[in-house]
Amino acid sequence: MSTFRTLALKILHGVVRLAPPHATEWSLAMLCEVDFIENDWSALSWALGSTRLLLTRPTDSQVANSSLPGAIQKLRAKVRQRTIGGCGLALAETLAYAALIYGFPSPIQRLGCCVGIAAMFYTGYQLFAWRTRKAPMAADLLDSGDYYRAELLRQRSFHRGLCLWSRLTVMICALILFCVGGIIAEPDGLRAYVSIGIGLVCVRLVAVWLNLRQARSYQRDTEQVDKFLPTLDHQTN
Amino acid sequence: MSAQTLEVLNAFLQMPQEWRYGYDISRHTGLKSGTLYPILMRLAGHKLLETHWESSEPGKPPRHMYKLTAAGLRFARQHVTSTSKLIFRTKFGSTGS
């Protein structure tokens, strides 16, 4: 076997190994085809062309067929990570509010802390509420599509609409009670409490922006799945 | 749609009922493999091209074969014809009037 052909085969085997899921079959097709090319130089040229497959992007239906189980796994990992992060933050804020209950003498401030703790519990509830059933088997594309869509919708709801604004309202109420209570109890600390209040409102505004951005991202993914589902439905029937 | 895609569709239209293989299309159209296969992948992704593996002579690997689907044939006829008309008009339109 000539050097050119050996090199061609090495390139093609490498492409088969590295090809993204939607291009695997095509890279194999190119590898098999090289055996039918008699000229060694042409075989090398053929093999070099195969590297283009590594840069191709899948069409919508190819994504639906090859990447849906992967997308589900990715989404589940992301949701798990965010749930753990969200619970961690909620727990930290709960502990901070709990510590403040004993640190401040003003009953209004204590009430604010209690409302803050309630807000954190409410956030925790929202993180776990309406969780979808267990992920289906990867082989069942239609079921996977439905599961993926339901999970995307749940995530989208968490990051916008009633869920977002209700938990934000409770958090802001806690903040107002805490600051107003502080100002009443210590009129000299007016400037400090106003600064704390403004700082925390800014943090909440950033959180709202991030939540709405996240919701838009889930909305885009949902629309993408909606495009796949009729195709999947057609394939399964 | 690119001129290369039209070339490929045109190649399929020459023998619409026959299964073709990649190297054959490449020789027929003069397209390099790096141009041809992404086009074939897109056509197959849009359900315009059907594929199957065919076992060949002993000692040789199977071959990946391609044929336009019914939708692919309609699509190819429509686009290849309209593009040919456009080329004809661009070349001869002014002298014809």
DSSP string, chain A: --HHHHHHHHHHHHHHHH--GGGHHHHHHHHHHGGG---HHHHHHHHHHHGGGGG----HHHIIIIIHHHHHHHHHHHHHHHHHHHHHHHHHHHHHHHHHHHH---HHHHHHHHHHHHHHHHHHHHHHTT---PPPPTT-HHHHHHHHHHHHHHHHHHHSHHHHHHHHHHHHHHHHHHHHHHHHH-GGGHHHHHHHHHHHHHHHHHHHHHHHHHHHHHHHHHHHHHHHHHHHHHHH-
- pLDDT tens digits, residue range B18-62? 899 999 999 888 899 999 999 998 888 888 898 888 877 777 888
Q: What is the pLDDT of residue A83?
A: 82
Q: Which DSSP symbol is given to B18?
A: S
CB-nearest to A49 from B32, B40, B45 is B32
Q: What is the pLDDT of residue A56?
A: 76
Where along chain B do its domains lie? 3-96
Rounded to the nearest integer, the mean pLDDT of chain B is 82
CB-nearest to A33 from B42, B51, B63 is B63
Distance CA A16, CA A14 (A): 5
Q: How many domains does chain A have?
A: 2
* pTM of the model as a whole: 0.47
CB-nearest to A37 from B23, B56, B62 is B23
**A77 and A113 share one domain:** yes
Residue B95 predicted with pLDDT over 60: no
**A176 and A215 share one domain:** yes
Instruction: Say yes or no for a CB contact (<8 Å) between B23 and A53.
Output: no
Q: What is the pLDDT of residue A236?
A: 41
Q: What is the pLDDT of residue A138?
A: 46
Residues of chain A with pLDDT below 70 are: 58-73, 130-145, 224-225, 227-237
**CATH assignment of B3-96?**
1.10.10.10
ipTM score of complex: 0.83
**A73 and A189 share one domain:** yes
Is residue A232 less than 8 Å (CB to CB) from chain B?
no
**A13 and A81 share one domain:** no
**A116 and A226 share one domain:** yes
Q: Give me the domain span that covers residue A170.
A: 60-236
Q: What is the pLDDT of residue A191?
A: 87
C-alpha distance from A161 to closest chain B C-alpha (Å): 36
> Among B4, B5, B23, B57, which would you mutate to test the A interface (most chain A Cβ atoms within 10 Å of its Cβ)?
B23
Q: What is the pLDDT of residue B37?
A: 92
Q: What is the pLDDT of residue A144?
A: 63
**A14 and A111 share one domain:** no
Pick the residue with more confidence: A189 or B69?
A: B69
**A136 and A209 share one domain:** yes
pLDDT confidence bin for B67, thresholds 50/70/90? very high
**A46 and A162 share one domain:** no
Distance CA A42, CA A79 (A): 49
